[in-house]
Structure 1
């Protein structure tokens, strides 16, 4: 079982640092899971902290491994005495990736690992979406864009002599770049969650409908807005 990273401190600087927000992929060392679903993390030494990728890679990208870790002897199926008289060749044991998982183990995984990880990423994306729509007086390129805009307005151009000189492409503000990034990351997040939820449903006999309803139900139970 993999350990999801802790939520970073939410600041505008984090949102504007795309390396910290997204970064590049780093291989992670897994952690071990006890029978009581106690997470025992091994130290991560990744710099910079690319939160979204780490969170997804430790929970969603490795969902099959995480679910397999929930299959323990005596929890996946009740012992059937009649099975002792059946040829093992006729009924070979199921591969671990096809074995059903105990309902309580599934519930613990969803409520203690999966949903908190999703919620943490939602909190980050929602916060940065708010930053993207707020005034940004600290933008280091703000004065440069103002100067370029002024020069563009003052420029006298004869388009008959040089039709291309009249074209002005203003530099994109970092809030606009952030808004585009958050929009893309939300699309990626939706795709990832749908895939993860489908795999969880196959192994956990999920009866909670789509992931959004299940996540909302968990939020209400946890008092999360």
Structure 2
């Protein structure tokens, strides 16, 4: 089975270091979700159901081998120990960083620069007859605003990836018709009861 990357320490520095944040999300997705077919194929134990039959080579079988259903126990272990923990680690990081993005940021290095630019923009004389572009002013974005936009985008990506992964898991394992949100919530409740 795949080994998911360890969740980084949840600090505001992680959130504002967009390279480290995106790297964790990318590696986590690449380890589990992007390679879901390979991960599921690894759960199938070859030749457990029936021994090799030499007569089987005389005709073509239309059923693809890689779509064989997987043992329910192996599926459950994969979901409980690899898939859902990976999703939960990414959710924890995204939720924490969303909280950081909505909190005041006293350590913002660009705060003084933005204040200075805003003051200059307010004091500027604008004569649109002489220069129609003189009223143009684009204030710099605070790093919390940039982080909030990044988190929104990553949550949309996460939703798309989880939906695709869950549909592929559903083809090979029994999902009971549950959506990935319901299955993840059920796993969270089960995990919290075990502690």
Give the TM-score taking structure 2 as reference length: 0.91
Query: Which residue is equivalent to 2:140?
Result: 171
Give 1:103's aligned residue. Answer: 72
The answer on 1:58 being equivalent to 2:27 is: no
d(CA) in 1 for partners of 2:150, 2:125: 36
Contact 2:2-2:82 within 8 A present in 1 as well? no
Q: Out of 124, 132, 148, which is 1:155 matched to? A: 124
The superposition leaves residues 117-161 of structure 1 with CA deviations (integer Å, 9 ceiling, x where unpaired) of 000000000000011100011111000000001111111222211
Query: Secondary structure, in 3 states, of the residue corresponding to 1:162?
Result: coil
> CA offset at residue 98 of structure 1?
1.4
Q: How much does 1:94 deviate?
A: 5.6
Match in the other structure for 1:5 = 5
RCO comparison, higher one (Cα < 8 Å, 6+): 2
Pick one of 73, 81, 85 that aligns with 2:46: 73
Q: CA deviation at 1:95?
A: 4.5
Shift of 1:163: 1.9
Distance, in Å, in 2 between the alignment partners of 1:111 and 1:145 is 47
* Matched residue, 1:20: 20
- How many angstroms apart in 2 are the aligned matches of 1:183 and 1:168? 26
Q: Match of 1:223, SS?
A: helix
- Matches for 1:1-225 after TM superposition, within 5 Å: 1-22=1-22, 50-73=23-46, 77=49, 79=50, 87-88=55-56, 89-90=58-59, 92=61, 95-223=64-192
TM-score scaled by structure 1? 0.80
Paired with 2:125 and 2:171, the residues of 1 have a C-alpha distance of 66
* Runs of 5+ unmatched residues, structure 2: none
Cα separation, 2, equivalents of 1:52 and 1:92: 40
| Structure 1 runs not aligned, ≥5 long | 23-49
Q: Following TM superposition, by how much is the alpha carbon of 1:92 offset from its aligned partner in structure 2, in angstroms?
A: 4.6
Aligned-partner Cα distance in 2 for 1:92–1:156: 80
Cα distance in 2 between the residues matched to 1:92 and 1:138: 65
- Report the Cα distance in structure 1 between the residues aligned to 2:13 and 2:172, rounded to whole angstroms: 40
Query: Equivalents in 2 of 1:177, 1:170: separation in Å?
Result: 13
Number of matched residues?
A: 192
